Amino acid sequence: MELNNDTPATQEKIKQMEQELSKLEHNLWKEYYEAGKGILEIAEQENKRINSLVDKIIETRRKLAETKQEKCCPECTASNDHDSLYCKRCGARLPDTDDTKEDNNGTK
């Protein structure tokens, strides 16, 4: 096969192929973009679901600790004996026994 790059017909063919290629590449990027967006949306929904589950677990742990008269660690939510001063899991300072009410100011 002999290819002559100099003829206008060949030049035109090359131009068309290049245009087709850039169109295809554009479509590919669009697909990537849409797929990425879809994945992000799913991830966000899953994240919300998981977060609400985690919230529920933390709340339940807190209630359980309260019922068992244990201290729930504000940092890692581990339950500790009611007279513990520091968390047995992470070592965080636990709130005083007298003050078990929700008091979250300044502990972050």
**Binding footprint of Zn ion on the chain (CB under 5 A):** 73, 75-76, 78, 87, 89-90, 92
Three-state secondary structure readout of the chain: CCCCCCCHHHHHHHHHHHHHHHHHHHHHHHHHHHHHHHHHHHHHHHHHHHHHHHHHHHHHHHHHHHHCCCEECCCCCCEECCCCCECCCCCCECCCCCCCCCCCCCCC
The nearer residue to Zn ion, 38 or 91, going by C-beta atoms, is 91
Distance of closest approach, residue 43 Cβ to Zn ion, in angstroms: 28
The nearer residue to Zn ion, 20 or 75, going by C-beta atoms, is 75
Distance of closest approach, residue 53 Cβ to Zn ion, in angstroms: 20
Distance of closest approach, residue 88 Cβ to Zn ion, in angstroms: 8
